[in-house]
Amino acid sequence: MSTAKPYTTDPSELGFDPNVLRQKYNYERDKRVKKEGFGQYRDAAGELKEFMVDHYAEPFEREPLTDEVEFAIIGGGYGGL
């Protein structure tokens, strides 16, 4: 049976430099992200407005929820962590 080592923030114990890894990640991300941001997308209006409708689902309306909560976890990926 092995024992887990306590969490450390000392980079010498990690076996890699977190700052170098962060720089590499940012470099690779910047190669894929366009400078226009959301401006790269077209508005779904005019001849494209039909793509805003789900033709396979019945439309419905409901009253808004007014529950009060202390915490709300939105998303299941990194946003929900």
Q: What is the pLDDT of residue 23?
A: 96
For residue 28, the one-letter residue type is E
Instruction: State residue 1's pLDDT score.
Output: 59
Question: What pLDDT is recorded for position 63?
Answer: 92
- Global pTM value: 0.39
Cα distance between residue 61 and residue 25, in whole Å: 43
Average pLDDT per consecutive 10 residues, the chain (81 residues; last block may be shorter): 72 84 93 86 89 89 89 72 56
Q: What is the maximal distance between C-alpha atoms in the chain?
A: 66
Pairwise CA distance, residues 18 & 12, whole Å? 10
Q: What is the pLDDT of residue 74?
A: 77
Contact (Cβ atoms closer than 8 angstroms) between residue 10 and residue 4: no
* Beta strand ranges found along the chain (DSSP E): none
Q: What is the pLDDT of residue 37?
A: 84
Residue with tokens 């077209």: 42
